[in-house]
Each structure stands twice: as structure tokens, then as C-alpha cells.
Copies of this chain bind each other. A is one copy, B any other.
């Protein structure tokens, strides 16, 4: 079970150095090293590696776009982005493009190996220096794209997901059925869904209810 790796970076010295480092590891094999994004896409579709180690800044086609292309065409291939910078924007763009891992060029060889093994195993890898920013970005996106639910809405969501009818919820909460309907509409609008089925899935994902019993 060796992990087959394609390396894409526009600096020859880095390519050779990283290849040497990785080849010291018995379970990782560098099967190709290319110097631009187009070559990375081509060689990946030809060789079908397990992991592509992708530099961000490359001529012809940058690493982000190359990642997007590879992930779209070969979802089984995992991409680890190798970058000089830890700025949250680059990181989240790379991850949005479909990268499974993100490591900095300043990292130790051991970390690079850990990242490759992690993504080859189907997990992800984020170098500690960027995780904070990613989490912050994530929560910001969550709150702007998906507005926070109000406490009342959360209660109604839970009851809906538990299978209660509008009338039943109104009785339980001691409010009018009309109000429950309004809450439901607000919920659907916020969650971006237009059915009880969608609301229920959202509730399950959010942990507001369980999948346990039928309702």
C-alpha cells in the first residue's frame, strides 16, 4: 500500500528536494514531478495518483484552478495544497476548490508526510497555523449565508423535525397555528429549503433532533 504522489511546483530545486524527502519514506512514492498547473492536470489524468502535492503559484495555470479541475474530473484523487502563505483567503479558496489538505512550505518533512498519509486515508489535513483562520472563516460564512436561527425558531424546528403537525406545535407552545406557520416559513427561508423533508435533514445535521425513532 504505497501512496503514489504527483508533485507540482515551478521551482526545480523544491521539486527535487521534496521528492528526495518523500522517497525516504517507504510508503510514499513520487511518481511524477511537473512544473505548471496544466501539466499537473494532464499527468494526473494519465497516472491517476493517490495524492497531488500542489503549489499555489505556478505559471500557465495556478494551483487553485488546477485543483478545481482535478477534483472535478477525478474525485478519487486527493489534493494537498503546498503554499508559502497562511492567509485565510488563500486557504479557504483552496479548500473551496476541493483541496483535502493545506500545508506551508515552511513545514517540517514529517508534517508533509503526515499530511499526505492523512489525505490518502480519506481524511483531511490542515497545518495548525491555518486552522484558526479557517474556523473563523467558516463561522462567518455560516452566519452570513445561513442566518442564525432565533431561539423560537429552533424550538419550532425541533418540533417539526419530531413530526408534530402545525396545530400540535401551536398547542404545545400555546401560540396560534398561524404563528407556527410563520416560523416555519422563516426557517425554510433561512435554511434555504422549501419542504419539511429539507428542514428535517437540517435539524438532524444540526443535532437538533435525532435519527432514532421515526418521529
Contact = CB atoms under 8 A, between A and B. Distances in A.
Contacts of A204: 201, 204, 211
B211 A192 contact: no
A163 B215 contact: no
Contacts of A197: 160-163, 196-197, 199-200, 215
Nearest to A210: B201
Given A164-B195, A198-B214, A200-B201, 7 more contacts: A162-B197, A195-B196, A196-B196, A197-B197, A197-B200, A197-B215, A198-B215
Contacts of A160: 197
Interface in A172-215: 191-202, 204-205, 211, 214-215
A165 interface: yes
7 contacts: A161-B201, A163-B193, A194-B215, A195-B215, A197-B199, A201-B215, A204-B211
Contact of A214 (B161, B163, B165, B201): B201
Interface in A143-172: 160-165
B196 A201 contact: no
Contacts of A200: 196-197, 200-201
A198 B214 CA distance: 5
